[in-house]
Chains A and B, each alone.
Chain A
Amino acid sequence: MENGAESRELVRIRIDMDLEWKFARGWSFGEFFRQFKGGNIVGIKCPQCGRVYLPPRPVCGNCYEEMHEWINVSDEGTIRAFTVVYNSITDPVTGRPRKTPYGMALIQLDRSDTLLNHYVDQIDLSHLAIGRRVKAVFHEERRGAMSDIAYFRLLEE
C-alpha cells in the first residue's frame, strides 16, 4: 500500500454484549407478582383521581399522589388498540428472532383504567377490532412474571 493511502477494505469490529442485570421487584412489583402467581391480577388505585393502574407504581403521575390501595382487576378485558406484527425483531428476552406474524393489542382489563400491552391469539385482521372482548390465557406453570400470560384469547362476540 502506498504511503498516504487509507484503506479500501473497511474493517468492522464485532463485539457481543454479555451483561446481566438484576432488577429488584420492590414492594410494588413484589406484591403484584405475589398476587399474580396466585391467579389474581391486581392494579393500584390513586386515592385522588381514582384511576386504577397497571403496572403498579409508587405514585399516580397525574396527581402526584402516593398509591397503596390494591384493586383486583379482571383477567378479561376489551381491545382498545391492535395490530398484527410481521416484522421480526431480536427478542430482547431470548436473544433470538421472534416468530412472526403475531397479533398484539392494548387491552383494558375490566376494573382497570390503563391498557395492557400483550399478544392476542389472532392474526386475521378481520377478526381484530377495537371493542372486541378478550380473556387472558396463562401458561400452566407459573413463575411470577408477566410472561406467565401466554396471550389473550378473543371471546365470542
Chain B
Amino acid sequence: MEPARVAAVGVAQTIYEPFKRMTTAEMVYEAVKGALTDAGIDISEVNYIVTASVDLWDGLTASNIAVTEVVGAVMRPEVRVASDGLFAAAHAFMLVASGHHDIVLLVAHAKGSLANHFAVSNWTFDPIYQQTLGMDFLAAAGIQANAYCELHGLNRSHLAGVVVKNRLNGSRNPVVSGVSSISREDVLGSPVQAYPLSVCDCSPATDGACAVVLASKSIAGRFKRPVWIKGIGYCQDVHYLGDRTLTESEALIRAAQNAYKMAGVTKPQCEFSLAEITEPFSYQELMWMEGLGLSEKGEAWKMVESGLTMLEGKFPVNPSGGLIGGSPFIIGGLARMAEAVLQIRGEAHARQVPGASKALVHGTAGPCGQSHAVMILDIAD
C-alpha cells in the first residue's frame, strides 16, 4: 500500500526515575502539556487520544480513568491500548491514516516502582501450566538469555557490553534521573538474579510518562519540525515458552518485514542513522538487533564490542540509554520513538547522532519478547 502520511509533530517526556513523588495524573499532565507545547497546539485541536497502560501494573481498574482529564479526554474520544507504548503508537498511526482524525495525542504512562514488577509479571503467564510454577519475566528472560548465549557461544561479558553502553548513554540523557555509567567489571561483579542475568542486566523499575502528538499530512504543513512515520508493523508469537524457539524472534522478524515493506526499506543494515530498541534485559538488545535484520544471527555482540553501536559509533543503538538506561517498562517503545524524533530533529544535545535523518524504533511486550512493534521514522515525507 501507499505509505500513509503521518507525522510526529510534538514529543515530551517526564523525568524517568524510581519512586516518583507525583500522582499518575500529575505525571501524565506534565508530559501532555510538554507535547502540546512542543507541537504548538491547544488541547481543543486534538481529535483523538490513545493511551497505553496496564491495569495490574497500575493497581487500578481501567487505569486510564486516572488520566482522563489530564490527557484532555473529557468529551473527547480516548482509547487505551493495554500494552507497550509503541503498540499504542501503531494504533494511533492507523487512526490518523484512516483519514478520520488529523491530530492524535498519544500517551504512555507507567509506575514501574509502584509494585514488584516481576511479581506482577507472574500474572501474564497462563494460570494453568506456567503461572503457578512461579514463572515471571525475570525467570523467562533468564531461560532465553541462557539459551541464546549457549547457542552462539556468548558469555556474561558480551551482555555486559550492552549494559555499559546503555548506562553511559542513559547518564547523558536529561530525561533520566539517577542512572550512572558503569564499568564492565562492575556489571560482571553484580549479583546474578537469574543466570546469566545480573541485577545490571535487568532494566531498573522507574516511573514516568511520555506523550507524542501525531498529525496528518494534510495539516502537517503548519508544524515546524514534522518527523514522518514511514512504516509500522507488529506481531505476536505463541505463548507457551516450551512452544517457542526462544533463541530468535520470528514475531519480530515479521513485524520488521511489515514495517520495512511499508517504508520501502530493503537494507536495514545500512539505511538507518540510529536504532532505538526496547530492551528490558541486556541480551534482548542483541537478539532484537538480529531480529530487526541489523546483524546476522548471533553476531550482534560484535557490533557492540567494536563500538559500532556506541553513541560515537557508526550505527548508534539506544543513544537514549534504552530501558537499561532508565526509561520505564510499558512506556518503553514510546520513549524510544520520542528519542528518535528528537534525534531526527537534531535536538538530542549531548547524545545527538550527527546528521540523524532516519531511525528504526522498536517496542516489545510480554515474556521474552512475545510481541513486537516496529516503526520507521524519517525526516523526509
Q: Is the CB of A19 within 8 A of B127?
A: no
Closest to A53 in B: B69
List the 3 shortest-distance A-B pairs measured between CB atoms, nearest first.
A61-B69, A26-B23, A21-B59
Q: List 21 A-B contacts (CB under 8 A).
A: A13-B128, A18-B119, A19-B115, A19-B116, A20-B116, A21-B58, A21-B114, A21-B115, A22-B115, A24-B21, A24-B22, A27-B26, A58-B25, A58-B29, A58-B70, A59-B69, A61-B69, A62-B75, A64-B44, A64-B72, A64-B74
Contact in complex: A23, B70 (CB < 8 Å): no
Kindly supply a per-residue 1/0 record for chain B positions 197-240, scoring 1 wherever the CB is within 8 Å of any chain A CB and 0 otherwise.
00000000000000000000000000000000000000000000
Tell me the bound Cα distance from A26 to B209 in angstroms: 15
Known: A21-B59, A58-B26, A58-B29. 17 other contacts (CB 8 A): A13-B128, A17-B123, A22-B114, A23-B114, A24-B20, A24-B21, A26-B26, A28-B26, A57-B25, A57-B69, A57-B70, A58-B69, A59-B29, A61-B68, A61-B74, A64-B44, A64-B72
Q: Which residues of A contact B (CB under 8 A)?
A: 13, 15, 17-29, 57-62, 64
A26 to chain B, nearest CB (A): 4
The answer, among B68, B74, B132, for a CB contact under 8 Å with A13, is B132
Name the residue on A nearest B126 (C-beta): A13
Task: State in angstroms the CA–CA spacing of A58 and B22 once bound together.
Answer: 11
B346 to A: closest C-beta gap in Å: 31
Determine the chain B residues whose CB is within 8 A of the CB of A59 once the complex forms.
29, 69-70
Interface residues of B in 31-74 (CB under 8 A from A): 43-44, 56, 58-59, 68-70, 72, 74
Expressed in whole angstroms, the minimum distance between the Cβ of B349 and any Cβ of chain A is 28
C-alpha spacing A124/B114, complex, angstroms: 41
Residues of B contacting A28 in the complex (Cβ-Cβ under 8 angstroms): 23, 25-26
Contacts of A24 in B (CB 8 A): 19-23, 111
Nearest chain A residue, comparing its CB with the CB of B43: A64
Cα separation A20 to B120 with both chains bound (whole Å): 9
**In the assembled complex, which residues on chain B have CB atoms less than 8 Å from the CB atom of A27?**
22, 26
Given A22-B114, A61-B69, are A15 and B131 also a contact pair (CB < 8 Å)? yes
Please give the distance in Å from A48's CB to the nearest CB on chain B: 13
Give chain B nearest CB distance to A43 CB in angstroms: 15
B1-38 toward A: CB 8 Å interface, digit per residue (1/0)?
A: 00000000000000000011111011101000000000
Contact in complex: B29, A20 (CB < 8 Å) = no
Residues of A within 8 A of B127 (CB): 13, 15
Chain B, Cβ-Cβ closest to A15: B127
Neighbouring B residues of A21 by C-beta, 8 Å: 58-59, 114-115
State in angstroms the CA–CA spacing of A28 and B23 once bound together. Answer: 8
Q: What's the nearest-Cβ distance from chain A to residue B38, in Å? A: 17
Cβ < 8 Å to A, chain B residues 108-133: 111, 113-116, 119-120, 123, 127-128, 131-132
Interface centre among A60, A61, A62 (most CB of B within 10 A): A61
Residues of chain A lying within 8 A (CB to CB) of residue B113? 22
CA distance A22 to B24 in the complex (A): 12
**Known contacts A61-B74, A64-B43, A19 near B23 by CB under 8 Å:** no
**Complexed CA–CA distance, A17 and B116 (Å):** 13
Nearest CB of A to B44, in Å: 8
Query: Residues of A contacting B26 with CB < 8 Å?
Result: 26-28, 58
**Cα of A28 to Cα of B74 in the assembled complex, Å:** 20
Contact B132 A23 (CB under 8 A): no
Q: Which of B223-282 contact A (CB under 8 A)?
A: none
Bound CA span A97–B368, Å: 39
